A = this chain, B = another copy of it.
């Protein structure tokens, strides 16, 4: 047996936590050469602890992505974790002589940190009955047939060249036209093709902005809490991140906003709080941008998903001076796996971002661009938007009262979007809730990575309802409420 665990029953740390730490070490040390963990029965007998202790430790490892359950093999170490284990990597390549292997630690340039590292979703998240996630979708409720039809059409005679050619850095002109004529007007935005760049999701839009606009020390205001990836990307580009608080009116107007080059905001439904930026602040932000010669990045990832009132027009729609860089994404409106988004900005900037994109990926896949153009042209896109909005509205109408009924804390009801933002009591540890919930089939999103600053904020989490089935919401919320009270009472 390969688990060396010194467990101390008198420690204030529960046994299962001690065991979990010991297992993590054993995994890193490559003590499971075939990647399989012993059965909970075998390990409990060996260590003289209860099977329940082993099961709790194992469940935490599953939730944190160290291992996953595989049919007939039990628990297996995940490949991405095993990869970081030098001993196991060496064991797996016994034929390779070690002499002459590159000293990778010296060779590689230190890279960016994944802000969600250590909070990995289990690989089989879609098998969980209650996935309260906003960044994934319910694939059963998705226009898969219509998309397959659009992809087939994109490979037919008239479209095949656009789909399959090397576009030498250009975008599919038909998709750009569809966006200008049929998608952007709904957001109040008038754009011509020279204002538009297709990106591999908003993620790439931020990356290209980092390359095109950020020099070492360029100051960039971000919402706090806010989208951790944008912060990581612009930080990796050399930017100095200036966190700005968010209140019930959206990002707070502070003097810091006059001393930055870029201000990144999510005005429609602030990520993660869900609040809508007030119209007064919108105008003020634009004035500040002109006065201080700065730019605003408007990340408009889910504005179409509004259930109360009408979607507010985009900030870009009232920007007459090209100060706003508008980012659209299909990750929330269609599916994240398509990796499609777009930027609307001044042609000078678009041209520059295109040059960077040209050397980074040449262009987003032609077949997906053309298929999306077909999908919009056929009316499938707008049909889906309406259907999806109706579904999400029903989910929203279930989760808001369920939160009021089951959670021990008041939760502000957003007017739209894909998740509830829960702020628990100061001393509540939502990491504990996340771990326990996962053992009962409930997945939720930790709030911690969304905050800037040295002190971890552990009392927040997000209940996304994009991926969970409508009829499971009530049940899942009951579980969360029960576990939350147990943690408070313990």
Contact = CB atoms under 8 A, between A and B. Distances in A.
Interface stretch (A167-175, A271-279, A476-484): A167-175
Interface string A94-130: 0111011111110111011110100011010010000
Nearest to A133: B166
Contact of A212 (B111, B136, B212): B111
A354 to B, nearest CB: 8
Interface in A367-382: 367-368
Contacts of A368: 365, 367-368
In the complex, the count of this chain's copies comes to 2
A102 B293 contact: yes
A356 B211 contact: no
A264 to B, nearest CB: 15
A346 B160 contact: no
Contacts of A120: 168
A460 interface: no
B203 A200 contact: no
Interface in A56-109: 79-80, 82-84, 89, 92, 95-97, 99-105, 107-109
A347 B83 contact: yes
Interface stretch (A21-29, A46-54, A140-148): A140-148
Given A213-B108, A321-B96, A352-B111, A126 B236 contact: no
Nearest to A167: B337
Contact of A338 (B173, B213, B367): B367
B114 A169 contact: yes
A349 interface: yes
Nearest to A120: B168
Given A200-B361, A320-B97, A116 B168 contact: yes
A322 B108 contact: no
B355 A114 contact: yes
Contacts of A107: 213, 261, 295, 349
Nearest to A106: B293
A211 B349 contact: no
B97 A203 contact: no
Contacts of A105: 348
A294 to B, nearest CB: 9
B201 A111 contact: no
Given A109-B211, A160-B142, A368-B367, A102 B170 contact: no
A337 B159 CA distance: 12
Nearest to A124: B161
A207 B359 contact: yes
Interface stretch (A12-20, A150-158, A250-258, A410-418): A150-158
Contacts of A166: 135-136, 331, 336-337
Contacts of A200: 200, 361-362, 365
A31 interface: no
Nearest to A368: B365
Contacts of A351: 80, 83-84
A145 B155 CA distance: 8
B359 A339 contact: no
B100 A290 contact: yes
Contacts of A194: 79-80, 82-83, 89
30 contacts: A80-B194, A96-B322, A97-B320, A97-B321, A100-B323, A101-B346, A102-B346, A104-B352, A105-B348, A107-B295, A111-B356, A112-B359, A139-B165, A142-B160, A144-B160, A148-B152, A163-B337, A165-B335, A166-B331, A200-B200, A203-B362, A207-B360, A207-B361, A232-B359, A338-B365, A338-B367, A339-B361, A339-B362, A367-B368, A368-B368
Interface of A: 79-80, 82-84, 89, 92, 95-97, 99-105, 107-109, 111-114, 116, 120-121, 123, 126, 135-137, 139, 142, 144-145, 147-148, 151-152, 155-156, 160-170, 173, 192-194, 200-201, 203-204, 207, 211-215, 229, 232-233, 236, 261, 290, 293, 295, 320-323, 331, 335-340, 346-352, 355-356, 358-368
